[in-house]
Structure 1
Amino acid sequence: MSDRPILEMTGIRKTFPGVVALDGVDFRLFPGEVHALMGENGAGKSTLIKVLTGVYGIDGGDVRLAGEPVHFAGPLQAQQAGVSTVYQEVNLCPNLSVAENVCIGREPRRLGRIRWAAMRRRAADLLAGLDLDLDVSAPLHSYSLAIQQMVAIARAVDPAAAPATRPQPEASGRGSRVLILDEPTSSLDASEVARLFEVIRRLKRDGVAILFVSHFLDQVYEIADRMTVLRNGTLIGEYRTAELPQMELVTKMIGKELTVLERLDDQTRHAAAPGEPIVAAHGLGRTGAVAPFDLTIRGGEIVGLAGLLGSGRTEVARLLYGADRPDSGRVEIDGRPVTLRAPRTAMHHGIAFSSENRRTEGIIGELSVRENIVLALQAARGWARPVPRRRQDELVARYVKALDIRPADPEIPVRNLSGGNQQKVLLARWLITEPRLLIVDEPTRGIDVGAKAEIQKLLVELAGGGMAVLFVSAELEEVLRLSHKIEVLRDRRLVEEIENTDGVDADRIMQTIASGATP
Structure 2
Amino acid sequence: MLLEMKGISKSFFKVNALNQVQFNLNAGEAHAIVGENGAGKSTLMKILAGIHQPDDGEIILRGKPVTISSTNVSKRLGISIIHQELNLIPHMSVAENIFLGREHRKGGFFSDFGSMVRETKSLLESFDLQLDPNALISSLSIGEQQIVEIAKAMSMQAEILIMDEPTAVLEEKEAQKLFELIHQFKSKGVAIIYISHRLNELKRFCDRITVLRDGQFVTTLSMEGLTEREIANLMVGRELSDLYPDKRQRFGDEILRVERLTRKRNFEDVSFSVRRGEIVGFAGLIGAGRTELVRTIFGDWQPDAGAVYWKGKKATFRSPLDAVQAGIGFATEDRKRTGLFLDLGVTQNVSVTCSGKVSKWSFIRRKLERQFVEQKINELNVKVHKRTGPVKNLSGGNQQKIVLAKWIASDSELFILDEPTRGIDVGARKEIYEMISRFAAEGKAVIVISSELPELLGLCNRILVMHHGKIKGELDHTVANEQNVMALATGL
Residue in structure 2 matched with residue 167 of structure 1 by the alignment: none
Gaps (5+ residues) in structure 2?
A: none
Higher alpha-carbon deviation: 438-447 or 383-392: 383-392
Structure 1 Cα separation of the partners of residues 422 and 154 of structure 2: 27
- Give the letter aligned to residue 228 of structure 1: T
List aligned pairs for 1:95-494, cutoff 5 A. 95-109=91-105, 112-114=108-110, 116=112, 119-120=115-116, 123=119, 127=123, 138-139=134-135, 141=137, 149=146, 151-158=148-155, 174=157, 176-262=158-244, 264=245, 267-268=246-247, 271-378=248-355, 385-494=362-471
Q: Are residue 511 (structure 1) and residue 487 (structure 2) matched? A: yes
Structure 1 Cα separation of the partners of residues 258 and 125 of structure 2: 49
**TM-score normalized with structure 1 length:** 0.87
Report the CA distance between 1:203 and its aligned residue.
1.7
- Compared with structure 1, are the counterparts of its residues 115 and 442 closer, same or farther at alpha carbon in structure 2 (3 Å cutoff)? closer
CA contact 2:278–2:446 (8 Å) conserved in 1: yes
For each residue in 1:424-481, what CA deviation from the matched residue of structure 2 results, as whole angstroms up to 9, or x when unmatched? Answer: 0100011001111111111101111110111011000111011111111111221122
List aligned pairs for 1:77-88, cutoff 5 A. 77-88=73-84
- Compared with structure 1, are the counterparts of its residues 134 and 338 closer, same or farther at alpha carbon in structure 2 (3 Å cutoff)? closer
CA contact 1:87–1:181 (8 Å) conserved in 2: yes
- Compared with structure 1, are the counterparts of its residues 428 and 42 closer, same or farther at alpha carbon in structure 2 (3 Å cutoff)? same
For each residue in 1:380-411, what CA deviation from the matched residue of structure 2 results, as whole angstroms up to 9, or x when unmatched? Answer: 99998244212211111112211111125322
Residue in structure 2 matched with residue 168 of structure 1 by the alignment: none
Residue of structure 1 aligned with 2:27, choices 31, 50, 55? 31
Residue in structure 2 matched with residue 41 of structure 1 by the alignment: 37
Higher alpha-carbon deviation: 122-131 or 341-350: 122-131
Structure 1 Cα separation of the partners of residues 368 and 113 of structure 2: 63
- Give the letter aligned to residue 51 of structure 1: I
Identity of aligned residues (%): 37
- Compared with structure 1, are the counterparts of its residues 146 and 343 closer, same or farther at alpha carbon in structure 2 (3 Å cutoff)? closer
Structure 1 Cα separation of the partners of residues 208 and 352 of structure 2: 43
Report the CA distance between 1:371 and its aligned residue.
0.9
The SS at the match of 1:423 is helix
For each residue in 1:232-290, what CA deviation from the matched residue of structure 2 results, as whole angstroms up to 9, or x when unmatched? Answer: 1111111111132111100000111111425x1xx20xx24111111211222211111
Report the CA distance between 1:337 and its aligned residue.
1.4
Report the CA distance between 1:120 and its aligned residue.
3.7
Residue in structure 1 matched with residue 69 of structure 2 by the alignment: 73
- Compared with structure 1, are the counterparts of its residues 384 and 62 closer, same or farther at alpha carbon in structure 2 (3 Å cutoff)? farther
Structure 2 Cα separation of the partners of residues 315 and 133 of structure 1: 21
Structure 2 Cα separation of the partners of residues 190 and 80 of structure 1: 33
Structure 2 Cα separation of the partners of residues 135 and 371 of structure 1: 39
Report the CA distance between 1:328 and its aligned residue.
1.0
- Give the letter aligned to residue 310 of structure 2: I
For each residue in 1:168-205, what CA deviation from the matched residue of structure 2 results, as whole angstroms up to 9, or x when unmatched? Answer: xxxxxx4x221111111111111111122222222222
- Compared with structure 1, are the counterparts of its residues 288 and 48 closer, same or farther at alpha carbon in structure 2 (3 Å cutoff)? same
The SS at the match of 1:466 is coil
Structure 2 Cα separation of the partners of residues 94 and 64 of structure 1: 36
Residue in structure 2 matched with residue 12 of structure 1 by the alignment: 8
- Compared with structure 1, are the counterparts of its residues 317 and 252 closer, same or farther at alpha carbon in structure 2 (3 Å cutoff)? same
CA contact 1:126–1:154 (8 Å) conserved in 2: no
The SS at the match of 2:272 is strand
Structure 2 Cα separation of the partners of residues 33 and 320 of structure 1: 47
CA contact 2:121–2:133 (8 Å) conserved in 1: no
Report the CA distance between 1:118 and its aligned residue.
8.6
Structure 2 Cα separation of the partners of residues 330 and 360 of structure 1: 29
Structure 2 Cα separation of the partners of residues 155 and 498 of structure 1: 39
For each residue in 1:101-126, what CA deviation from the matched residue of structure 2 results, as whole angstroms up to 9, or x when unmatched? Answer: 34332334466413627944983698
Report the CA distance between 1:322 and its aligned residue.
1.0
Structure 2 Cα separation of the partners of residues 439 and 135 of structure 1: 29
Residue in structure 1 matched with residue 49 of structure 2 by the alignment: 53
- Give the letter aligned to residue 401 of structure 1: N
Report the CA distance between 1:93 and its aligned residue.
3.9
The SS at the match of 1:84 is strand
Structure 1 Cα separation of the partners of residues 241 and 320 of structure 2: 37
Structure 1 Cα separation of the partners of residues 417 and 113 of structure 2: 47
- Compared with structure 1, are the counterparts of its residues 499 and 50 closer, same or farther at alpha carbon in structure 2 (3 Å cutoff)? same
**TM-score normalized with structure 2 length:** 0.92
- Compared with structure 1, are the counterparts of its residues 76 and 130 closer, same or farther at alpha carbon in structure 2 (3 Å cutoff)? farther
- Compared with structure 1, are the counterparts of its residues 60 and 137 closer, same or farther at alpha carbon in structure 2 (3 Å cutoff)? closer
Residues matched between the structures, number: 491
- Give the letter aligned to residue 67 of structure 2: H
Higher alpha-carbon deviation: 204-213 or 50-59: 50-59
For each residue in 1:19-61, what CA deviation from the matched residue of structure 2 results, as whole angstroms up to 9, or x when unmatched? Answer: 2111111001111111111111111101111222222222211
- Give the letter aligned to residue 481 of structure 2: D
- Give the letter aligned to residue 305 of structure 1: F
Structure 1 Cα separation of the partners of residues 285 and 122 of structure 2: 29
CA contact 2:285–2:490 (8 Å) conserved in 1: no
Structure 2 Cα separation of the partners of residues 133 and 332 of structure 1: 38
Structure 2 Cα separation of the partners of residues 149 and 349 of structure 1: 35
Structure 2 Cα separation of the partners of residues 506 and 7 of structure 1: 39
RMSD: 2.7
CA contact 1:95–1:139 (8 Å) conserved in 2: no
Report the CA distance between 1:87 and its aligned residue.
1.6
- Give the letter aligned to residue 229 of structure 2: M
- Compared with structure 1, are the counterparts of its residues 341 and 207 closer, same or farther at alpha carbon in structure 2 (3 Å cutoff)? same
Structure 2 Cα separation of the partners of residues 121 and 304 of structure 1: 39
Gaps (5+ residues) in structure 1?
A: 160-173
